[in-house]
Structure 1
């Protein structure tokens, strides 16, 4: 079976599905399987000129929005690049971004296309303050879910909670499957270590949706209580200057290290103690599974896929979103009690190996793919 994994971001893009797919590719071996990976380079801008028409809604009703205009042009560019670069036929295409799925079905209408929805762009834009609730951008982006349902042959998502989010925007939510992301254990190697001062780490894009302002507030409370720690922030993004300024104003700049973008954080993540990320929304939260596989103690918010990964008090700790007091209390608990911290980490590690292995994801995907074997 000849498979195409259609991404938006290139595989070298850090985090999430783009970094996962190459490890899937290693498990789909010839002669029974042949898998290629496709994505659009960042340099492709304003090349496409195709007229865009969707089957389930008129996108031009929202066409005055610059966000919508940019999305449509990106779709045109993906169409242009796909027509230019893909010459061979495939038995099945698995798309991992709405633009990829719609473009592939437009160009290859007779090829089965499976669409996995990994995250919510409109929810991220809302949380980041880029668009307004109920505005044209949100209505346009949520309308795409029904268009994908109409156009593609099967829809999947990555968590039960995100299926609940998608349900109001499609006609047949019961037909959407759930396959959580899978991770290659060989990339994540727990390393025994004994840090005299608790080492906290977070890995994410530096955007408002990740709740790093709440994390800095919580860390300031820890310092006022006299609890020593170091906070390592791995990642980059538009609000980095604001976060650095906030750390200075809160008096915790000396305890906080901003690394910027790092290609392979999993290589040194095992040397930390506690992974913490107070996200305001997560469809799945791949970085929690990655941290668990490094045997770090997990502290996260009760949102989306995070709450499905962490059983509170068993495999980590959960706190309400937007609550810096609760986050500080949870961090204080695991900082002061290393034995409890290690027990949480060990249980989280066992669950991640059991439920989020690459082997499990490959097994579930093969069952789906084989349904379309001619």
Structure 2
């Protein structure tokens, strides 16, 4: 057996969102007899720490001058040191630095980019959206293969010029236990929040960003406030809209109903304590957290956008609602709560689907098949 193929992964790593979770699951599951991963991040954060705990080599990139503002200089240095056969980038900043650094070094590695989200929705500031959108597309020429996390996203980007022949769809996946988790009779989360044990909890796990649609969940919760006096909402995640959303919650008179937990390390333990999971995103590349919610045996309500259309089979293993529509969202929550047996059946169907199709083994196999084709 020859030496393992070196793969350099590049990602922002400033927060621990879906892309970071995707990458962590991928690299920790690689067969080390065949693949030697090294991860480069731009920030010392949760991802870097988790990688170190798993004894996966990680480098925190520190641009030191103007030409290195997007990381080209330190990535070039890393390419020279590691001599990777494959560079796999995740996220706009990582994409630009990896592609341009590899080009500057004479293209010694094959470049793979996984696209997790639509760039225009990630950058609400117009000049950033225009600048990074231009640079992202301009550097597509330096990518050997694109991986899209949903068919919907691939179709959308192909219309914008993404080379279809150099792209494939690989759905996200999660680390599956041997058997489903079982809900406990006593809820530590309700105790933590000072709530009675019979309180109904609607959970949302998402960064506090405009694209995640929390505003519409506030509006939906306001509509349901009187009908369900025992209904509370738990929001897990941090982000730039924290203060704005806190103000919206206050203005809606829901300070006692909506609980901001911030970033948590125990999401997998929290999920089974919810009665219902809601993801009201304006857009989602895939919606990895929905798989986690389904794995936990929760009925799911999500926006009918992007990759969520491929994750949730409306009426079978969850409910889909139009995005940015508080009326439809409140009606779906009402339906799920008022028809518990139907919700239970949808939750069971979702859990079964995740166990059939959501494994990391499938993700790793499909991803390494891309690597092998590029090497041959």
TM-score computed with the length of structure 2 as normaliser: 0.83
Question: Is contact 2:99-2:111 (8 Å) kept?
Answer: no
1:298 is aligned to 2:295: no
Equivalent residue in structure 2 for 1:163, among 147, 154, 179: 154
Q: Does 1:152 align with 2:143?
A: yes
The equivalent position to 1:200 in structure 2, one of 185, 202, 205, is 202
Asked whether the 8 Å contact 2:119–2:133 carries over to 1, the reply is no
Deviation (angstroms), 1:245: 2.3
What is the aligned partner in structure 1 of residue 174 from structure 2?
Answer: 183
Deviation at 1:25, TM superposition (A): 2.1
What per-residue deviation string (whole Å, max 9, x for no partner) do you get for residues 178-199 of structure 1?
1112211139952224663321
| Residue 281 (structure 1) shift | 1.0
Give the number of equivalent residue pairs. 342
Are the equivalent residues in 1 in contact too, given 2:314–2:320 (CA < 8 A)? yes
Provide the rounded CA distance (Å) in 1 between the counterparts of 2:143 and 2:166: 12
The reply to whether residue 112 of structure 1 matches residue 71 of structure 2 is no
Of the structure 1 ranges 267-276 and 136-145, higher mean CA displacement relative to structure 2 is found in: 136-145
Check 1:326–1:188 CA distance in 2 against 1; reply closer, same or farther (3 A cut).
Answer: farther
- Which residue, out of 54, 63, 80, partners 2:73? 80
Runs of 4+ in 1 over 6 A off after TM superposition: none
Structure 1 unmatched ranges of 5 or more: 51-72
Q: Would you say the 8 A contact 1:189–1:270 is kept in 2?
A: no
- Within a 5 Å distance, the mapping from 1:109-258 to structure 2 comes to 109-126=107-124, 130-131=125-126, 137-170=128-161, 172-186=163-177, 190-193=181-184, 196-226=198-228, 228-258=230-260
Kept in 2, the 8 Å contact 1:303–1:321? The answer is yes
CA distance in 2, matches of 1:92, 1:352: 30
Q: Does 1:9 align with 2:12?
A: yes
TM-score after normalising by structure 1? 0.84
| Helix, strand or coil at the partner of 2:37 | strand
Deviating more after overlay: 107-116 vs 228-237: 107-116
Superposition deviation, residue 309 in structure 1: 0.6
Q: For residue 315 of structure 1, report the CA deviation from its aligned partner.
A: 0.9
CA pair 45-114 structure 1, distance change in 2 beyond 3 A? closer
Q: Whole-Å Cα distance in 1 between the matches of residues 307 and 178 of structure 2?
A: 22
Secondary structure of residue in 2 paired with 1:177:
strand
In the alignment, which residue of structure 1 is the partner of 2:42? 40
| CA gap 1:31/1:173 in 2 versus in 1, 3 angstroms | closer
2: CA distance, partners of 1:16 / 1:104: 25
Would you say the 8 A contact 1:145–1:170 is kept in 2?
no
Separation in structure 2 between the aligned mates of residue 348 and residue 148 of structure 1, nearest angstrom: 38
User: How far, CA to CA, are the matches of 2:257 and 2:119 in structure 1?
Assistant: 33
Aligned match of 1:67: none
1:45 and 1:290 map into 2 onto residues whose CA distance is: 33
Cα deviation, residue 48, structure 1: 3.3
